[in-house]
Amino acid sequence: MVAALLPLSLVAQTKPAPRAANGKPDLSGFWKGPLLRTMFESSGGPQFTAAGKAAYEANLKSPNPEGLCLFAGIPRASISGVPFEIVQNPTRIAFLYELMTTWRSIPVDGRKHPDIRDIEPSYFGNGIGRWDGDTLVIDSIGFKEKLSWVDDDAHPHSDQMHVVERWRRPDWDHLEHEVTVEDPKFYTKSWTFRRVFTHMPPGQEVMEFACDENNVDRDKGHLGLGPHDPSKYSGVQ
């Protein structure tokens, strides 16, 4: 239980998680969490296939796609450090990412994925949701392979990536996010990472972020290549 690990004062102040009219937990809210730089920490580091290693090394010599204003997709958009809003109704749940004003709308109505050949690859993939008790499970396939990193550290993903997200709201102020990623084309084993988001302060709302409005860094060639080294700086999670 994450709540058990929180400071007592925080637990005492928070309210129970709200429930929707259909009895399911209501995940609606405006959520934030710092940039996550430890996606592979609990899994012992990335276990690349030969193709995955080649893709990683190519990424190290490439500009961060986010710096080019390309969509972060998942799992990266949720852990970017930029807040996002969740809007929920009984049959769909929408993620409104402030990062580049992107979104995904996930059906939660019992449907299955289409045939993979009928899915146009995308940055956010084809996601379907279902409830597992009080946990929302989103299963996504059908991703692009080029110009998309899984994190800020240049780790690649292929068009065979399969992402399973488990979202749970233990109380009003917190939202747990557990993600398992498998990608047999680029990685020899799956990995799982976790993150707890907190609710943004009252009065804060999601804002427009038109990334390509004035991308001086890209247009003047200022962008460097590959990720930065988090060990050199403080304050990075």
Partner 1 sequence: MKLQSLILCTVLSISSLVAHHSFSAEFDAQKPVTLEGTVTRLEWANPHVYFYIEVKDASGAVTNWGCETGGPNSLIRSGWRRDAMKIGDKVIVKGYRARDNSTTCDARQVTLADGRKVFTGSSDDGGPKQ
As a whole number of angstroms, the distance between CA 112 and CA 132 comes to: 16
Q: Which of 6, 11, 69, 94 binds partner 1 (CB under 8 A)?
A: 69
Shortest gap between Cβ of 200 and partner 1 (angstroms)? 7
Shortest gap between Cβ of 141 and partner 1 (angstroms)? 27
Kindly list the distances between the CA atom of residue 115 and the CA atoms of 141, 145, 157, 187, in Å, as whole numbers in the listed order.
10, 18, 20, 23
> Which residues from 166-225 bind partner 1, rule CB under 8 A?
200-201, 204, 207, 209-217, 222-225
Q: Which of 24, 38, 53, 67 binds partner 1 (CB under 8 A)?
A: 67
Interface with partner 1 (CB under 8 A), residue total 42
Q: Which of 81, 107, 121, 184 binds partner 1 (CB under 8 A)?
A: 81
Determine, following the binding rule CB under 8 A, whether residue 66 of this chain makes contact with partner 1.
yes
Q: Which of 11, 24, 63, 162 binds partner 1 (CB under 8 A)?
A: 63
Beta carbons of 20 and 108 less than 8 angstroms apart = no
H-state helical runs in 46-105: 50-60
H-state helical runs in 129-172: none
Shortest gap between Cβ of 81 and partner 1 (angstroms)? 3
Residue 107: cis peptide before it, omega within 30 degrees of 0: no
> Which residues from 94-113 bind partner 1, rule CB under 8 A?
98-100
Sign of the torsion angle spanned by Cα atoms 32, 128, 180, 131: positive
Q: Which of 19, 111, 146, 228 binds partner 1 (CB under 8 A)?
A: 228
Single-letter code of the amino acid located at 1? M
3-state helix, strand, coil in the chain (%, to 5): 20, 30, 50
- Contact positions toward partner 1, by CB under 8 A? 32, 34-35, 63-64, 66-67, 69, 80-83, 98-100, 152, 200-201, 204, 207, 209-217, 222-225, 227-230, 232-236
